């Protein structure tokens, strides 16, 4: 039942106002990540992102997010070892991936492969800490292998096996490019993963928590989150940013491009955020990683286009609190690393699986199934209409 009150729609029984997109509505309590969108601050379990990005590694950060504290040396070594032991995926998963169309998007391939893991591992022992640990290890270990496998399979090649002597990020780049990466490049990539690992109750994490709240298995939880991340308003924006930079072509075109896009009410990809009203702190760090990457491995002219867009956007979008977000500079790093553009979002998923799993555990710890209400705006109760009396519906 809906009740109109001025511009607001309120639920007739509870009086609660409809907030499209749940803007500003707390939907859970969480101890994992905090964002101060006015100051541009981001912490994981209380640790500032800037501190982690310099001192930590992706696997250590994943451990922190999922279990709440930084691991001891022994805990970290055990976790790294377990992840390394579970990197391989069954030949059945690889064979299934060979049946996927090579023209399909790698996010769809990843969503299907992540969901298929539920066929291999016992379901719904989710009150067993041993099962939870194994599921966490398997998902963190196997998702990069599946992303790299689809890349080779769609080129008509067989996937290559993980290398046990390589650390997490170096191994992923090796499986993807078939070359052992420069250690500096692998470290920059590892830092990118840390920056993308978690970001409170964004759309895909909310999706993960909603799915988790039904007490289904963790593979379904992660598959639902991957599907949500794929959209261009969320993780998919990183792919669109590079297309935009190429279309703009030169720094001199940045201003006119922005004027046209804003006049046509088109969104500038890689700009804007529901939480941040200043430049996303992850974009600040990513920009420094872009520069480090270019110092070590050569410049990319698209960076000049990106900087010009950011500068021109200051006066046009800045007053509305619209600044670069995490997706604006990440693609430039990935491009330099030789990662194909349509793998940028799967790479985001490789990182974000840590945050999703942290939220899965937290949801299970104090679960109540998500079941919000709605404000019905459809037809009033009416009688079934016989065929001969029906008019064509507007959709026809």
Identity of the residue, 88 or 267, whose beta carbon is nearer to ligand CMC in the bound complex: 267
Two structure tokens written together for 369: 């199934």
Two structure tokens written together for 111: 């969503």
Identity of the residue, 177 or 200, whose beta carbon is nearer to ligand CMC in the bound complex: 200
Q: Are 153 and 104 in contact (CB under 8 A)?
A: no
Which residue stretch of 25-33, 231-239, 298-306, 378-386 sits at the interface with ligand CMC (rule: CB under 6 A)?
Answer: 231-239
Q: Are 156 and 21 in contact (CB under 8 A)?
A: no
Is 163 a residue that touches ligand CMC (CB under 6 A)? no
Q: Which of 188, 230, 268, 353 binds ligand CMC (CB under 6 A)?
A: 268
> Could you give the 3-state DSSP secondary structure of residue 8?
strand
Q: Are 235 and 349 in contact (CB under 8 A)?
A: yes
**Pairing, β 2-5 against β 47-48:** unpaired
Q: Are 286 and 330 in contact (CB under 8 A)?
A: yes
The CA distances from residue 379 to 13, 212, 376, 382, in Å, are 19, 33, 9, 8
Shortest distance, CB of residue 326 to ligand CMC, whole angstroms?
A: 5
Is 205 a residue that touches ligand CMC (CB under 6 A)? no
Which residue stretch of 212-220, 321-329, 360-368, 378-386 sits at the interface with ligand CMC (rule: CB under 6 A)?
Answer: 321-329
Q: Which of 40, 159, 227, 235 binds ligand CMC (CB under 6 A)?
A: 235
- Site map (CB under 6 A) of ligand CMC, residues 236-265, x = contact: -x----------------------------
| C-beta atoms surrounding 164 within 10 Å | 10
Q: Which CB contacts under 8 angstroms, 24+ apart, belong to 63-68?
A: 65/32, 65/33, 65/197, 65/198, 65/354, 65/355, 65/357, 65/358, 66/136, 66/354, 66/357, 66/358, 66/361, 68/31
- Site map (CB under 6 A) of ligand CMC, residues 112-151, x = contact: ----------------------------------------
Shortest distance, CB of residue 353 to ligand CMC, whole angstroms?
A: 14
Identity of the residue, 34 or 158, whose beta carbon is nearer to ligand CMC in the bound complex: 34
Q: Which of 325, 331, 335, 343 binds ligand CMC (CB under 6 A)?
A: 325
Which residue stretch of 97-105, 107-115, 170-178, 272-280 sits at the interface with ligand CMC (rule: CB under 6 A)?
Answer: 272-280
> Could you give the 3-state DSSP secondary structure of residue 383?
coil
Q: Which of 27, 233, 252, 314 binds ligand CMC (CB under 6 A)?
A: 233
Is 269 a residue that touches ligand CMC (CB under 6 A)? yes
| Residues 6+ away with beta carbon under 8 Å from 296 | 182, 184, 185
Q: Which residue has the tokens 């979002």?
A: 345
Q: Which of 13, 155, 320, 389 binds ligand CMC (CB under 6 A)?
A: 320
**Closest residue to ligand CMC: CB criterion:** 272
Q: Which of 198, 310, 312, 327 binds ligand CMC (CB under 6 A)?
A: 327
Residues that bind ligand CMC (CB under 6 A): 21, 202, 233-235, 237, 267-274, 317, 320, 322, 325-327
């Amino acid at each position: 039942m809906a009740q109109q009150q001025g511009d607001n729609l309120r639920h007739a029984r509870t009086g609660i106002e409809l907030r499209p997109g749940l803007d500003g509505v707390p939907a859970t309590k969480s101890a994992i990540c905090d964002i101060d969108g006015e100051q541009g601050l981001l912490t994981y379990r209380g640790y500032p992102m800037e501190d982690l990005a310099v001192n930590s590694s992706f696997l250590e950060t994943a451990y922190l997010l999922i279990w709440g504290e930084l691991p001891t040396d022994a805990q970290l070594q055990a976790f790294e070892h377990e992840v390394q032991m579970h990197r391989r995926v069954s030949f059945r998963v690889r064979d299934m991936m060979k049946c996927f169309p090579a023209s399909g998007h790698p996010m769809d391939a990843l969503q299907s492969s992540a969901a298929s893991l539920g066929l291999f591992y016992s379901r719904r022992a989710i009150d067993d800490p041993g099962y939870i640990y194994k599921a966490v290890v398997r998902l963190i270990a196997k998702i990069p292998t599946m992303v790299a496998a689809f890349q080779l399979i769609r080129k008509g090649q067989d996937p290559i096996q993980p290398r046990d002597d390589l650390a997490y990020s170096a191994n992923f780049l090796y499986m993807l490019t078939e070359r052992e990466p420069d250690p500096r490049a692998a470290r920059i990539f590892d830092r990118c993963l840390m920056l993308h690992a978690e970001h409170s109750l964004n759309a895909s994490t909310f999706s993960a928590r909603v799915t988790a709240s039904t007490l289904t298995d963790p593979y379904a939880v992660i598959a639902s989150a991957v599907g949500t991340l794929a959209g261009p308003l969320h993780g998919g924006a990183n792919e669109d940013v590079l297309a935009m930079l190429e279309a703009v072509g030169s720094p001199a075109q940045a201003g006119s491009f922005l004027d046209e896009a804003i006049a046509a009410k088109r969104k500038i990809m890689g700009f804007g955020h529901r939480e941040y009203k200043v430049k996303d702190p992850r974009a600040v760090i990513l920009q420094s990683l872009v520069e480090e990457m270019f110092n070590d491995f050569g410049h990319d002219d698209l960076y000049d286009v990106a900087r010009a867009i950011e500068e021109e956007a200051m006066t046009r979008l800045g007053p509305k609190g619209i600044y670069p977000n995490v997706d604006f500079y990440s693609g430039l790093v990935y491009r330099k690393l030789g990662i194909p553009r349509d793998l940028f979002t799967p790479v985001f998923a490789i990182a974000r699986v840590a945050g999703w799993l942290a939220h899965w555990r937290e949801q299970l710890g104090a679960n109540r199934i998500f079941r919000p209400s709605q404000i019905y705006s459809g037809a009033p109760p009416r009688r079934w209409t016989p065929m001969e009396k029906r008019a064509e519906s507007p959709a026809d």
